[in-house]
Structure 1
Amino acid sequence: MLTRPNLARRPTVLWSMAGVLAAVTVALGVAEWQGWRFLARPAERWLSQHLEREVRFGAAESTGFRLSLWRGIRLQVADLSIANPPWSQLGPMLTAHQAELRLRYRDLWAARGGCALNVQALQADTLQLRLERRQDGRASWQFGGADSGLAAAEPAINGVHFESLMVRDGRLHWIDEPSQVTLDGEFAYRPDAWRQTPGWVAQAKGRYRDAPMAWQARTAAVLPGIDALAPAEVPLSVEGSAGRARLKFEGSIRDLFGEQSLNGRYALSGPSLAAVGDPLGVTLPTTAEFTLRGQLQRDGDRWRTQVESAQIGRSRLSGDFEFHHVAGQVPSLTGELRGTALWLQDLGPAIGVEPGTGLAGQPERPTSSTAARRVLPDRPLDLPSLAAMKADVRVRLDRFELGHPKLESIRPLKARITLGDSVLTVKDLDATLAQGRIWGGFQLDARQPRDGIWDVNLSTQGLRLEQWIDQARPAGQPPYVAGDIGGQLQLRGHGRSVAELLAHADGQAKLWWTEGQISHLVVEGSGIDLAQALGVMVTGDRALPVQCGAADLRIRQGIVSPQVMVVDTSDSTLWATGHISLASEELSLTGHVAPKDVSPLALRTPVRVRGTLADPDLSLAKGPLVRRAVPALLLGMLNPLAALLPLIDLGSGEARDRLNGCRTLAARQPAPAPSRARSARPGAS
């Protein structure tokens, strides 16, 4: 016979279960109401074990420990201390008094994967932070794994982010070895922080790369990304200095730990652009002192700036640039540099000379040591910095000043500068100088940081000498030299400075002088023709047409040797022989003149140029001079008129021979560039 279940026992079981559940609920409720104070010490041990550093809530449970686990974790303590990792000597990483901490369970779960721990809110009367990052990458805000002393170990929790942070009195001590920064600062949330409204105030002092720095910052409300209740954009003001560099920013900030948006105006000044680029990871040229003003925007990994005015020494520039930097990738810079004037001296350090020096590297004000100085810039360039970033910048300058009072400026100048894989290239160079045109470019390959490889290829055409070189002369007198200059320069070398490049250079330079004119006085003076020189001085100087002028300079290991260097006029032919050492800067040249006319008072002795580029020494060749002067003196003892006979120069067949070499070289002149031959005149497009 089937029996029915004993249904009478079911209510008893159910009531028992309900009773147990009620008892547990009551116990949990009581524990929640009392703040789980008995968990203070177990919580300390559990956190210390998982964070791999000591965590303390105070000396005893009576110090104000209170915990709530309902709908997240809410911890209130009178005292909280979290130690730094064992390798740090700074003391506790965090100490707080009268603190309240709020966490969501989902954020705790997410932090188990090695992400940063997201803290919903932290409030404290006082908070002191001691943060440190070592050169090997270990940081005190990384918990577990990396704290064990192994730099390559992955941390269990990589940092802490705060959605809301409220501190009445905060202190910060920060040591960051990779960026060489040491800071001691104060921060607080105050009701009158921003124009009598609540917000944050912070100030810090310290050192950056042994240079003193100081910063002050103010915000309206708590920073977005820190306080979930803060408005979308919060006004921000920052002012500070690092060494002699100063920054002032007025704008707004948004989502500090998310997309990280920034927008505002800035003013930046300092001793050199390179000093500013270093902390940003941007390779910028070493320049004279500067001041920049403009608009700055940041959207995630992209920074954009509109430089409204940039004053670098005497240079006046502007431009638009974008800087993109993704963690683990080489940063890149793109944009356009514009300007009404750029002076070569202001970029002097970038090409190896000191600021405030002239075109040849000499001081603008002569000193007693000028003669002992080298002319060619020998300051080493920072080749390894070229590997720090990529760049593609277009340059459009209204005027480029060469920095010499006797030389005309370049107007305008266009170029494109690219940088990638440690190779710097200046290409698409197109400039107008003295109604002529210069085009070409150069490349610096710094993949071997100890010794860069240079390639230079420049051409010029239609350059007017009388405009390029200021030749101050009395009214009515012709310029010493005039006419069109064209040429080519091809150079390849290696070195870490301009001087080293030229000392090891191989290549060729060619010059052509057409439609030329030269001062009659210069020609006769070059030939030591006393009679005609005196005549020119009495009757007045006149311009002699240059029938041909050409130079073919061969460069081998820094030695410049003229293969042909000749100027032919209707009066005489002038040429030069010898060499110039770009390594030692020594000169060994001899100038010759072959007249085409008869002169009764011509010594006709070669002119020697010796010494160095910084201190040339001109003298007359004594042999030919003595051979002419001694017979003149002997004959003059018999008859004064007879003394003129050895000085009469009937001309020389050498003039015709030298002219043939000039014509041969001129015949090899390449065809003009198809884009512009003489169109590069003022007003030409």
Structure 2
Amino acid sequence: MELTAPQRTGEPGTPVASAADRRRWWWRVARNVALGVVAVLFAIWLVLYVTKGRFLKTTFQSVVGKMLKRDVRVRGDFQLYFAPWNIKFLAEGLSVSNPAWASKPNLFEARRIDARVAPLSLIFGKRRIRWMELDGGALDMEWDAAHVANSWTFSEKKGKPFALPRIDRAAVRGTTVRFRDPRMQLLADLKVEDVTALEKRIGRAIGLSGGGRFRATPFRVEAQLLSPDATASGGENKLTLRAWANNNVIDVAGTLPSLAELEDVPLRTAARGRNMAELMEIIGVVIPNTRDFRLRGQLVKSGREYRFTRIAGRFGNSDLAGRLTVTNRERLHLDSVLTTRSLDIVDAAPFIGYNPDIVESRGAVAAAAATGAGPAMVMPDAELPVATMQRFDADLKWTIRDVKSRRVPVSNIDLTLDLERGRLALSPLTFAMARGNVASDWIFDTRQRPSANRYDIRLAPTPMGRLLAGYGVAEAGTTGTVRGRIQLAGRGDSIHDSLATSNGRIAFTMPQGSFWTRNVQLSELDIGTFVQKMFEKKLKEPVQINCGLIAFTVRNGVGAADPILIDTQKNVVLGRGGFSFRTEAIDLAIRADGKKFSLISGQSPVTIGGRFVQPKLDVISPELIGRAGVGLGLAIVATPVAGILAFVDVGDAKSAACGPVLAGATAQAQRTTKGEKRDDVDRGRPAKAEDGKRSDDEKQTQKKKFLGIF
């Protein structure tokens, strides 16, 4: 049929076309074009339907490969056609390659994939799959080392979150998913449980299981999508996950915007295990050992930050709450604020290197031995984790309200920790002790080898009655206070080694007040008997103290009295000897000299020996035996009355000037109340050599006065 366009109006010799003629002409044109398009589409549909589109296999590989900038291959049967209205896609041996930087050659592989795709969804960008059968699928999802590009974003631009198309029905068999993130140091290999959808719903849950490695720690994981129908429709992805790693169980639950999208998504988390140190070891962080723990909180990943908030739970018999932020940059960094209402003293044992379970079941000596310390030693010899401390940084503020302890009245602990490139500072570390305050700074600098460690501990004026209530001292009747300072510096990668090489000074002063004891034993050291033997009282009234100083000068790990000087209303208490941080041996002799004449006095040095773990009190000293011998000789040679002379105390003790005492001055600076230099105090010389035998020089410096008064 030949179409002739109507002639224009007004031209000479031609008829004038009406408007109706023009409309009929345009309608015929549109009809013919439409019929032509339908015919062409029908022809294409018919050809594809008859051939199943198998001839498009090469074209599909080439076109899709160029679009994705990947190598696309179909090694088996291929079909692409309308059946009848949805696009039928079938491929056997399909593979899509990964970018060159990936660790695996292919992003996706499948033995067989058979799908029905809604064609309009491809036009409008909302991909919808009516039906999909996937057999032997393998999906490899990776981020690059810089965490900028990923394997599933087909461009050179920044990687986008992974998003599944909407899937109405599916059957999945033998499919695996691999995920790798070098920045997180995470590798997971998961198996998708077989899924069969017979009607219009996938089912109530899709399961995943498998394992992998996080940093250097292997793990096992089981997960479920609890709302797969909503997931397939592009809705909520309700995920629950449980992982087992390094003797810990970790639970994660939440709603994801997409299956591989965790950014800024709040996730409920919970963890439990036998030792919190094993949990932190997973991310390469070292903390002291703990007893079993159970914690819960909320996790939000934001860029390089992993923020744990609303933390609450317990470790051992102690509670814990607060927040923790882990930043995964060039160096791992931890920033945390923690609070504890009640801390069991046993749970604090790991802070100095003890295993709390051993402390609770077998005591401190066994716990010290477990760290490598020698027999009968209490100072831990566990080495600092130097290499690990130099790999990460940390900031911590931890407040503890109460400490459960039978004998140590500690509360209101406020700890600030700063770890930077191997230098660990506990500064300040403050706490209340028996209504007094302790402020301290502990520095462990592992950048120097061996570690350079400093200890500075300051005790504000503290009531002795409450401080020593668990050691035989009565609160009622004891009004004296004590203040002091410990300043030591040493080298070593353990507390024992650093103290065994330390130098510095220890000094505790006592201003005027009273001191009263009860006859209560602590191990083999009986403070009640000790004080009674010192002052020869029946403990019916407290001892009145004018001032006192207990001080030691420490050289190369050995502390020597410098001085021990306590001035009371009736006596002057003097001490000599010292102790060793190396062997934990004690060798002290303390005695009280009367200020007034006493006819009958058995006073002699009371010695404290043994070791830190088991000090021993000896009230039968050689001086007392010597007095008894002299008395017996005089009684035999002269008269029984003459034997009393051996126990006469002439009462020549010189009262101490309290200024130098309260200033914590060394023995050389001590004076009498008359301003005279004291010659009866030790001057910082150890009482015994390291082998436990008194040297000749030490013997000469310990000459005694007549009748055993030194």
Question: Same fold by TM-score, threshold 0.5 exceeded?
Answer: yes
* 1:125 and 2:126 matched: no
Distance apart, 1:167 and its partner CA: 6.2
Q: Is the 8 A contact 1:285 1:347 kept in 2?
A: no
Residue in 1 that maps onto 2:558: 559
Residue in 1 that maps onto 2:74: 57
Residue in 1 that maps onto 2:344: 343
Q: Tell me which of 169, 174, 180 is aligned to 2:173.
A: 169
The TM-score normalised by the length of structure 1 is: 0.70
- Give deviations 1:523-556, integer Å, cap 9, x for gaps: 99559969x74xx44xx53201111111332223
* 1:77 and 2:91 matched: yes
Q: Is the 8 A contact 1:351 1:497 kept in 2?
A: no
Inter-CA distance 481–32: structure 2 relative to 1 (3 Å threshold): farther
In 1, Cα distance between equivalents of 2:56 and 2:109: 20
- Provide the aligned C-alpha RMSD in A: 5.2
SS in 1 for 2:584: coil
Q: Is the 8 A contact 2:284 2:388 kept in 1?
A: no
Residue in 2 that maps onto 1:99: 113
In 2, Cα distance between equivalents of 1:44 and 1:332: 47
- Give deviations 1:546-603, integer Å, cap 9, x for gaps: 1111133222332222212222212322222223221222223332332224445534
Inter-CA distance 628–163: structure 2 relative to 1 (3 Å threshold): same
Q: Is the 8 A contact 1:215 1:238 kept in 2?
A: yes
SS in 2 for 1:353: coil
- Give deviations 1:271-296, integer Å, cap 9, x for gaps: 22232223345555432221112333
* 1:510 and 2:507 matched: yes
In 1, Cα distance between equivalents of 2:103 and 2:424: 44
Residue in 2 that maps onto 1:587: 586
Distance apart, 1:429 and its partner CA: 3.7
In 2, Cα distance between equivalents of 1:383 and 1:455: 16
Residue in 2 that maps onto 1:454: 453
Residue in 1 that maps onto 2:643: 643
In the alignment, structure 2 segments of 5+ residues that lack a partner are 1-39, 118-126, 520-525, 666-710
Q: Tell me which of 234, 238, 242 is aligned to 1:230.
A: 234
- Tell me the amino acid that sits aligned with residue 452 of structure 1: S
Q: Tell me which of 322, 325, 348 is aligned to 1:323.
A: 325
Within a 5 Å distance, the mapping from 1:429-578 to structure 2 comes to: 429-448=429-448, 451-471=450-470, 483-519=480-516, 526=530, 533=536, 536-537=537-538, 540-578=539-577
Residue in 1 that maps onto 2:610: 611
SS in 2 for 1:261: coil
- Tell me the amino acid that sits aligned with residue 325 of structure 1: T
Residue in 2 that maps onto 1:266: 269
- Tell me the amino acid that sits aligned with residue 37 of structure 1: R
- Give deviations 1:357-405, integer Å, cap 9, x for gaps: 659x94499999999242112112223333444433332321134x4x2
Inter-CA distance 157–31: structure 2 relative to 1 (3 Å threshold): farther
- Tell me the amino acid that sits aligned with residue 94 of structure 2: L
In 1, Cα distance between equivalents of 2:483 and 2:435: 12
Distance apart, 1:459 and its partner CA: 1.7
Q: Is the 8 A contact 1:57 1:65 kept in 2?
A: no
Residue in 2 that maps onto 1:664: 660
Inter-CA distance 460–368: structure 2 relative to 1 (3 Å threshold): closer
Residue in 2 that maps onto 1:334: 335
- Give deviations 1:324-373, integer Å, cap 9, x for gaps: 535x43344334211211234324334311114659x9449999999924
Inter-CA distance 181–501: structure 2 relative to 1 (3 Å threshold): farther
In 2, Cα distance between equivalents of 1:120 and 1:584: 77
Residue in 1 that maps onto 2:316: 313
SS in 1 for 2:499: helix
Residue in 2 that maps onto 1:245: 248
Inter-CA distance 156–357: structure 2 relative to 1 (3 Å threshold): same
SS in 2 for 1:399: strand
Q: Which has the larger radius of gyration?
A: 2
SS in 1 for 2:279: helix
SS in 1 for 2:645: helix
* Identity score, percent: 19
Q: Tell me which of 200, 223, 227 is aligned to 1:216.
A: 223
In 2, Cα distance between equivalents of 1:596 and 1:471: 31
SS in 1 for 2:644: helix
In 1, Cα distance between equivalents of 2:554 and 2:345: 26
In 2, Cα distance between equivalents of 1:162 and 1:524: 77
Q: Is the 8 A contact 1:332 1:390 kept in 2?
A: yes
Distance apart, 1:484 and its partner CA: 1.2
Q: Is the 8 A contact 2:276 2:289 kept in 1?
A: yes
Q: Is the 8 A contact 2:368 2:380 kept in 1?
A: no
Within a 5 Å distance, the mapping from 1:137-152 to structure 2 comes to: none
Inter-CA distance 609–667: structure 2 relative to 1 (3 Å threshold): closer
Distance apart, 1:142 and its partner CA: 6.8
Inter-CA distance 334–92: structure 2 relative to 1 (3 Å threshold): closer
- Tell me the amino acid that sits aligned with residue 442 of structure 2: F
In the alignment, structure 1 segments of 5+ residues that lack a partner are 1-23, 104-118, 144-154, 670-685
Q: Is the 8 A contact 1:44 1:56 kept in 2?
A: yes
The TM-score normalised by the length of structure 2 is: 0.68
Residue in 1 that maps onto 2:210: 204
In 1, Cα distance between equivalents of 2:319 and 2:550: 37
Distance apart, 1:323 and its partner CA: 1.8
Distance apart, 1:446 and its partner CA: 3.2
In 1, Cα distance between equivalents of 2:64 and 2:383: 54
- Tell me the amino acid that sits aligned with residue 135 of structure 2: T
Q: Is the 8 A contact 1:185 1:205 kept in 2?
A: no
Q: Is the 8 A contact 1:529 1:599 kept in 2?
A: no
- Give deviations 1:613-672, integer Å, cap 9, x for gaps: 22434446865344322222223446444332212222234x44xx24x64142468xxx
SS in 2 for 1:325: strand
SS in 1 for 2:356: coil
Q: Is the 8 A contact 2:566 2:574 kept in 1?
A: yes
Residue in 2 that maps onto 1:677: none
Q: Is the 8 A contact 1:598 1:649 kept in 2?
A: yes
- Tell me the amino acid that sits aligned with residue 227 of structure 2: A
Q: Is the 8 A contact 1:523 1:572 kept in 2?
A: no
Residue in 1 that maps onto 2:426: 426
In 1, Cα distance between equivalents of 2:437 and 2:252: 42
- Give deviations 1:193-226, integer Å, cap 9, x for gaps: xx996553223357876777443333323797xx
